[in-house]
Amino acid sequence: EVKNIRYFASQPWPFPDSLMVAFIAEYGGGEIKVDGEEIVEAGWYSAENLPTIPGKISVARKLIDWFREHYCR
């Protein structure tokens, strides 16, 4: 469950003519559920212990950098 969902940014995604959209939300409770198609893997990570993260030009990386700036002091 998530709450307080807010739009963060978007970027074009070349295949197949798609758009990647990023949102910020608060965790409200419950277990992570993946659909096995669009999302095949998900997990909880601390900002200090992230898996390999995307390059700086991706919206995913911009979202991670935003989180670190606001919550890791």
CA gap 22, 26 in Å, rounded: 14
Q: For the domain bounded by 2-71, which CATH number is listed?
A: 3.90.79.10
Evaluate if residue 32 carries a pLDDT over 80. Answer: yes
Give the length of the chain: 73
Q: What is the pLDDT of residues 36-66, one digit of tens each?
A: 888 888 988 888 888 888 888 999 999 999 9
Q: Percent of the chain, pLDDT > 70?
A: 100
pLDDT of res. 5? 97
pTM of the predicted structure, to 2 decimals? 0.76
